[in-house]
Amino acid sequence: MRDAAPQTIYLKDYTPFGFTVEEVHLTFDLAPSATRVTSRIKFAPNPDATDKTFFLHGEELTLRWAKIDGETVEPSITAEGLTCDVPNIPFVWESEVQIDPAGNTALEGLYRSSGMYCTQCEAEGFRKITYYPDRPDVMSTFTVRINGPEPVLLSNGNPVASGKGWAEWHDPWPKPAYLFALVAGELIAHPGKFTTMNGRKVELNLYVRPGDEHKCAFGMQALKASMVWDEKVYGREYDLDIFNIVAVDDFNMGAMENKGLNVFNSSAVLASPETSTDQNFERIEAIIAHEYFHNWTGNRITCRDWFQLCLKEGLTVYRDSQFTSDMRSAPVKRISDVIDLRGRQFTEDQGPLAHPVRPESFQEINNFYTATVYEKGAEVIGMLRTLVGADAYSKAVDLYFDRHDGQACTIEDWIQVFEDSTGRDLGQFKRWYSQAGTPHLKVAESYEGDTYTLTFTQHTPPSATTPDPKPQVIPVAMGLLAADGSEAMGTQVLEITKETQSFSFPGQPARPVPSILRGFSAPVVLDHSADHAFLLAHDTDPFNRWESARALAKGSLMATIRQGKAPDSAYLGGLTKVVADDRLDPAYRALMIGLPAQSELAASLHAEGDVPDPDAIHLAVDAMREAQAEALQDMLHPLYDAHQVTQDYAPDAAQSGKRALGNAMLALITRRDGGAVAQAQYDAATNMTQQLAALGFLIGAEQGDAALGAFEAQWKDDRLVMDKWFGLQVMKAKPDDAADTATALTRHHDFNWKNPNRFRATLGALAMHHAGFHAKDGSGYALLADWLIKLDPVNPQTTARMCSAFQTWRRYDAIRQTLIKAQLERIANTPGLSRDTAEMIGRIREA
Ligand code: PHE
Ligand code: ZN
C-alpha cells in the first residue's frame, strides 16, 4: 500500500529534475516470484534545474545493493523511493532490486499473464521495476538484456544479439520510462514486412499465445494500413528496424504504445470472423492505428508532465478518427464518435468528475485517463483544424514535428506552433484546455427584409474546477436551406467568441431553414428549436440529418416519460422514409433507427429540472421500439432479406453496414415473431456478428435459453468470446433481473474476477444497464459496491475506473440517492482503500 494520506499534485508546481539521464542499461534475470533487475544509469547534473535532490522513484522493490561510480552507497528508502548523496559531476548509478511478477495482480510494472511476462509502465509503473526518475520529462536511450528460459524475449528498439536463454535490445531513441516494455514467453509470431516511404525495411510481428495464430491476420493488415496512412497524411515514417505487437489476456486498458513494442489487451487486437463482431474489427483497426500513431505523437514528441496527457492522447485520438473516416465512412464514424462523446464525456462534464482537458491537479494520475482528456481532447484538435483550415493545420503540425522532435512538451508548445504558423492569436482558444464543462449554445432567429439573422448565446455551467467559466471560441459550421429543401447557402464556419453574438445573411428572398452545428463542429449542447422534421427530410449534411432524427426521437421519448404521450408520428414518418431510402448507406440507415441511451434521457430530464425515473424511461424506450416496429412493419422483412451478405465474410464498411441494417430489422422483427427469424439466423450463422446479434434478440424475447447453452458449449474455451457471453446476459436482462443475472454469473466457474476483461464484461455491463443498475431496491448498487471492495486490493486501477458508475447519483430521487450514498460510504470506509479508488469515491461523494 502506498501513502495513507494522499497528496495533491499541482501543474503550477512543475520543476525539472535535478539530473539528466544519458544512458540506461538494464539486465533482467527472470523468475516468476523473484526477478532480479540490475540497472546501470549515467546521470549528470541538469543545468536547467535548481533543486538538485537525487530522488529516484521506487515502489514494492527490494533493494539488494546500490553503487555510485563503483562504490557501495546506502540510500535512505521510503515506500515511494530513495534519496542519496551524489557528486555534483556526471556519475554512474548502479543497483540491483528484486521484484515479484507473479504476485503482481495490479497489472502495473512487470507482471505475469497466462504464463508470460509482460509490463505496463504508463503512467507510473516503471518505479515498480527499478529505482528511476519515473517522470516523462526524463528521457534516455535504453539497452536491455533479458536472461530467461522463455523462447521469446522482447524489449524496445532493435534486437542487438541473442542466444539460448538471453536476448539484448537497444532503443536508440531517447524515451521516458513510461514507454519501456519487456515481454517474455512461449509466443508465436505472426510476421509481416513493411517498406517505408524512404525505403527502410521494417520487420513486423504480432506475437500471440499458441492457439491464437488464426486471429492475427486482420491486426497485421491494420498495422500496415496505419503505417501507410501516417506517411501519406502526416508525412510520418517509422523509425526502427522492427515493430512488435504482443497480445496479453490480462490488461487494464485497451493497449499501450511502448516504443517498438506495443502491448495490447487481447480483446483489442485478436480477431477472426467466427469469434469477433464487425464492431470488434472496427475497434481493433482503430486501436492498432492509435498505438502506431503514438510513435510520433507521444513517443518522438512526448509530454513534459502528466498534466499534458491530452497533448499525446487528444491528438492521437483525433488522428485515429481521421484514419477510420478515411478507411470507412466519414459520416458514420462522426456519428458514432458523437454518440460516444455524449454518452461518456458529457456525463463526466456534467457531474462531480468534471475536469478540464488539461487538469491542474490530481492525486492519482491513473484516474485521468478519461473521456475528457481523450475524446474532448480530440474534439479540441478538430475545432482547431476547423478554425485554421486543413492546409494551415498540416503546416502547423509539420512545424510541431520539426521544432519539438525528441522533446517533452506542453500544450503551450502545441498552441505556439499554430500561432507561429498562422499568425493567429489563440489565447482565448486555450480556454478549451483549462475550463471544464460543456458550453450550451442558445440560438435565436430573425428575418427582416431579406436579411436572415442568427443570434447565439453561450453559457457554460460552473463546476468544481471551473467555478466561473468564460466564453469559449466556438466554431459553428452551418448552412441554410430553402423551403423546397434546396441549399440556400452552403456550409460556412461562424466563429463565436463572445457571450452573445449575431451573424446576418442578407439576400435571402424567403425565410430559410438553418442547419446549425453541421458535422458537430464543436462539443457543445445546442439549444435550438429547429425544424427537425424538415431537416430529417432535406439536410445535405449527413450528421445533422441524423441529429434531426435523434432530436425528434428524444423529444418524443421525453413527452412519453413526462406526459405519457404516444410516440411522435412526425418522427416515425420521417424515419420510415430515410430507412426506406436505398440511396443511403445501410450503416447510416441503421444508425438512424438508434435511440438515445436511457442514461442520456435521464441526464436531459435532470437538466430540465425533473427527477428521472429509470423504470419510466425504460418503458418509454420499449414503447418507442414497438412503435418503430409498427411504423416500419412492411419493410422489415424485405430489408432484412435484401441486406443478407452472401459473399465470404469481410469486416469492411460495406458488409458491416449491411449486417448492421439487417440486424436492426431483425431486432424489430423479433418483437413481432417472438424469435423465429432470430433463431434461424442463430442456427445458420457463420460469423460472430450474426450469431451474437441473434442471441441478443432471442434473450430479449425470452427465448434465449437453448441458444445460450449452445453458445457456451461452442465457445467455452475462447476467453474473448466468453466475455461476450457473460456481458450479453446482463445487458439483455430485464431491469428487475439484472442484478440477479450478474450475481449468478459471478458464481459461474469461468468467472475469473481478477481478469479485467471478465470483470468488466459482467459488472461493467451491470453498471451500463441503466434501469437494472438503478433498480429501486438498490440491488445493483450493492452488488457493484461488493465487487469493487473485493477488487480494490487486487487491482486498484480497474476498480477506480468502474467507480464512475456512481458519478450520476445526484440526478436520482431521494431514495436512490440514499441507497447510493450508503454504498459510497461503505467503499470509502473500507480499510486500506487504494489511492486510486479513494480519490474517485471522494470526488463523487463531493457532488
Ligand atoms: N496510452 C495508452 C493509449 O491511449 C493507454 C494506457 C494508459 C494504457 C495507461 C495503459 C495504461 O494508447
Ligand atoms: Zn493513446
Expressed in angstroms and rounded, the spacing between residue 123 Cα and the centre of ligand 1 is 8
Beta carbon of 175 within 6 Å of any ligand 1 atom: no
Q: Identify the three-state secondary structure at position 599.
A: helix
- Distances from the Cα of 804 to the Cαs of 237, 367, 370, 400, 785, in angstroms? 38, 10, 10, 35, 12
Closest ligand, as measured to the CA of 257: 1
Which residue reads 469492411 in cell numbers?
652
Are residues 20 and 80 in contact, defined by beta-carbon separation less than 8 angstroms? no
Any ligand 1 atom below 6 A from CB of 313: yes
In single-letter form, the type of residue at position 328 comes to R
CA–CA dist 481, 485 (Å, integer): 6
If DSSP codes are grouped into helix, strand and coil, which group holds residue 138? coil
256 lines ligand 1 (CB under 6 A): yes
pLDDT for 847: 82
What are the residues whose beta carbons fall under 8 Å from the beta carbon of 92, sequence distance 6 or more?
40, 41, 42, 43, 67, 68, 69, 70
Which among 118, 121, 257, 368 is the best mutation to test ligand 1's pocket, defined by most ligand atoms within 8 Å of the CB? 257
- The answer for residues whose C-beta is within 8 angstroms of residue 393's C-beta and 6 or more apart is 384, 385
Helices (H), strands (E): how many in the chain? 30, 31
122 in contact with ligand 1, CB cutoff 6 A: yes
Q: Does 723 contact ligand 1 (Cβ within 6 A)?
A: no
Give the rounded distance of the alpha carbon of 344 from its chain centre. Answer: 9
What's at 61, amino acid-wise? L
What does the chain come to in residues? 847
DSSP string, 696-742: HHHHHTT--HHHHHHHHHHHTT-HHHHHHHHHHHHHTS-GGGHHHHH
Protein residue with its CA nearest to atom 2 in ligand 1: 256
Which atom of ligand 1 approaches the CA of 251 most closely? 10
Q: How many CA atoms lie within 13 A of 369 on its CB side?
A: 16
- The number of the ligand 1 atom at minimal distance from the alpha carbon of 257 is 12
Residue 167 CA to ligand 1 centre (angstroms):
26
Give the neighbor-by-neighbor strand order of the sheet with 55-57: 55-57, 81-83, 76-77
CA–centroid distance, residue 678 to ligand 2 (Å) = 38
Q: Is the CB of 320 under 6 A from ligand 1?
A: no
For residue 124 and ligand 1, the question of a CB distance below 6 A is answered with no
Cβ atoms of 591 and 335 closer than 8 Å = yes
Q: Indicate which atom in ligand 1 lies nearest the CA of residue 298.
A: 1
Whether the CB of 120 sits within 6 Å of ligand 1: yes
Q: Is 547 in the pocket of ligand 1 (CB under 6 A)?
A: no
What's the 658 CA to ligand 1 centre distance in angstroms? 33
Please give the distance, rounded to the nearest whole angstrom, from the Cα atom of residue 136 to the centre of ligand 2. Answer: 15
804 lines ligand 1 (CB under 6 A): no
- The atom number, within ligand 1, closest to the CA of 108 reads 11
Q: Of all protein residues, whose CA lies closest to atom 5 belonging to ligand 1? A: 256
Looking at the CA of 179, which ligand is closest? 1
Tell me, using a 6 A CB cutoff, whether residue 171 lines ligand 1.
no
Whose C-alpha lies nearest to ligand 1, atom 12?
256
- Nearest ligand to residue 258 Cα: 1
Whose alpha carbon is nearest atom 1 of ligand 1? 256
Ligand 1 atom with the smallest distance to the CA of 369 is 7
Confidence (pLDDT) at 226: 99
Angle at alpha carbon of residue 99, lines to 95 and 100, rounded to 5°: 170
Q: Which burial class, exposed, middle or buried, applies to 345 when counting CB atoms under 10 A from its CB (0-12, 13-18, 19+)?
A: buried
Query: For a pocket test of ligand 1, which of 107, 111, 120, 122 has the largest count of ligand atoms closer than 8 A to its C-beta?
Result: 122
pTM above 0.75, yes or no: yes
Ligand 1 pocket, residue 369 CB under 6 Å: yes
Q: Which long-range contacts (CB under 8 A, 24 or more apart) does 613-619 make?
A: 613/561, 613/813, 614/735, 614/770, 614/771, 614/774, 614/775, 614/812, 615/735, 615/771, 615/776, 616/561, 617/557, 617/561, 617/770, 617/771, 618/735, 618/770, 618/771
> Pairing between strand 242-248 and 261-265?
parallel
- Measure the N-to-C terminal CA separation of the chain; round to a whole number of Å: 27
Is 539's C-beta closer than 6 angstroms to any atom of ligand 1? no
Cβ of 291 below 6 Å from ligand 1: yes
Angle at 572 between CA 567 and CA 574, to 5 degrees: 145
Q: Is 267 in the pocket of ligand 1 (CB under 6 A)?
A: no
Of 324, 320, 211, 217, nearest to 721 (Cα)? 211
Taking every pair of Cα atoms in the chain, the longest distance, rounded to a whole number of angstroms, is: 89
Mutation pick for ligand 1 pocket among 365, 369, 797 (CB with most ligand atoms within 8 Å): 369
Distance CA(261)–CA(257), nearest Å, equals: 7
**Element holding 191 (H helix, E strand):** strand 188-195
Ligand 2 midpoint to CA 315 (Å): 9
Ligand 1 contacts CB of residue 290 (under 6 A): yes
Query: Cis ω on the peptide bond leading into residue 123 (within 30° of 0)?
Result: yes
Indicate the SS3 state at residue 339. helix
Residue that is written with C-alpha cell 464543462 in the block: 437
Phi, psi of 737 (to 5 degrees): -100, -5
> Ligand 2 mean position to 120 CA, how many Å?
14
Q: How far apart are CA 792 and CA 801, in angstroms?
A: 11
Measure 759 CA to ligand 1 centroid, in angstroms.
19
**Alpha-helix residue ranges (DSSP H) falling in 5-161:** none
Does the beta carbon of 59 lie inside 6 Å of ligand 1?
no
Q: Contact, 623 vs 570, CB < 8 A?
A: no
Contacts of 177 (CB under 8 A, 6+ apart): 121, 126, 127, 132, 133, 134, 135, 138
Ligand 1 atom with the smallest distance to the CA of 366 is 9
10-residue mean pLDDT profile of the chain (847 residues): values are 72 98 99 99 98 98 98 98 98 99 98 98 99 99 99 98 98 99 98 98 99 98 99 98 99 99 99 98 99 99 98 99 98 98 98 98 97 99 98 98 99 99 98 98 98 98 96 98 97 98 98 98 97 98 98 98 98 98 98 98 97 98 98 98 98 98 99 98 98 98 98 98 99 98 98 98 98 98 99 98 98 98 98 98 95
Active site residues: 291
Q: What is the rounded CA–CA span in Å between residue 281 and residue 222?
A: 10
Residue in 107, 178, 246, 253 to alter for ligand 1 test, most ligand atoms within 8 A of Cβ: 253
Alpha carbon 366 to chain centroid distance? 14
Query: With a 6 A CB cut-off, is 503 part of the ligand 1 pocket?
Result: no
Nearest CA among 364, 31, 303 for reference residue 175: 303
Atom of ligand 1 nearest to the CA of 294: 12
For residues 44 and 404, give the distance between their C-alpha atoms in angstroms, rounded to a whole number.
22
Distance (Å) from CA 120 to ligand 1 centroid: 9
Closest residue by CA, ligand 1 atom 3? 256
CA of 291 to the centre of ligand 1 (A): 9
CA of 256 relative to ligand 1 center, distance in Å: 5
Residue 505: the pLDDT is 98
Residue 374 alpha carbon, nearest atom of ligand 1: 4
Kindly report the protein residue whose alpha carbon is nearest to atom 8 of ligand 1: 256
Q: Report the pLDDT value the prediction gives residue 11, as an integer from 0 to 100.
A: 98
Task: Indicate the residue type of 549.
Answer: A
- Kindly give, in sequence order, each residue whose CB lies less than 8 Å from that of residue 520, ignoring residues fewer than 6 positions away: 334, 338, 543, 547
* Cα 104 to middle of ligand 1, angstroms: 19
What spacing in Å lies between the alpha carbon of 122 and ligand 1's midpoint? 7
